[in-house]
């Protein structure tokens, strides 16, 4: 075979390989972008609520939060943030907020078993966890 006949075939082979390599690079880049999402999320998931009403949401683990409030008569609660980029299904499943006319604040609906048990009207308010103030009293 002559060089002139071989050159067009080489160009076709090189172009086909470069398309495959480019496709692999694009898939790898897309996979890497999905892995960055959860790692870039806010790691501070726990809040210390002091008895005086102050809140500090700078704890990664509940153990850190408990160590901070020990001896200060406070409590730890999960950080309550509803991300803005939720799907419609996830947004409808998230706790609802309801305006109260007396104080103008909004309370979340008590939907978990923990909330229903701990924040029940059957439990005296002084024995309820402090985080119950953020939820409607379950029915």
* CA gap 136, 97 in Å, rounded: 9
What's the whole-number mean pLDDT along residues 44-55? 81
* CA gap 27, 19 in Å, rounded: 12
Residues in Cβ contact with 120 at an 8 Å cutoff, skipping those fewer than 6 apart: 137, 138
Q: Which residue has the higher pLDDT, 87 or 27?
A: 87
pTM above threshold 0.75:
no
Task: Decide the pairing of beta strands 46-49 and 75-78.
Answer: antiparallel
**Inter-residue contact 75 to 69 (CB < 8 Å):** yes
**How is the chain split among helix, strand and coil, in percent rounded to 5?**
45, 15, 40
* CA gap 63, 70 in Å, rounded: 10
pLDDT tens digits, one per residue of 21-36:
666 777 666 665 554 4
């Amino acid at each position: 075979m002559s060089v002139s006949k071989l050159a067009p075939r080489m160009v076709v082979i090189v172009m086909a390989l470069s398309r495959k390599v480019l496709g692999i690079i694009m898939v790898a880049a897309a996979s890497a972008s999905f892995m960055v999402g959860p790692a870039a999320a806010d790691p501070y998931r726990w809040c210390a609520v002091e008895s005086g009403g102050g809140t500090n949401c700078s704890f990664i683990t509940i153990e850190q939060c408990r160590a901070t409030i020990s001896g200060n008569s406070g409590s730890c609660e999960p950080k309550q943030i509803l991300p803005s980029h939720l799907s419609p299904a996830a947004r409808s499943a998230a706790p609802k907020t309801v305006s109260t006319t007396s104080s103008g604040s909004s309370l979340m609906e008590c939907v978990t078993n923990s909330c229903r048990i701990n924040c029940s009207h059957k439990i005296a308010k002084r024995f309820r966890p402090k985080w119950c103030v953020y939820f409607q009293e379950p029915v």
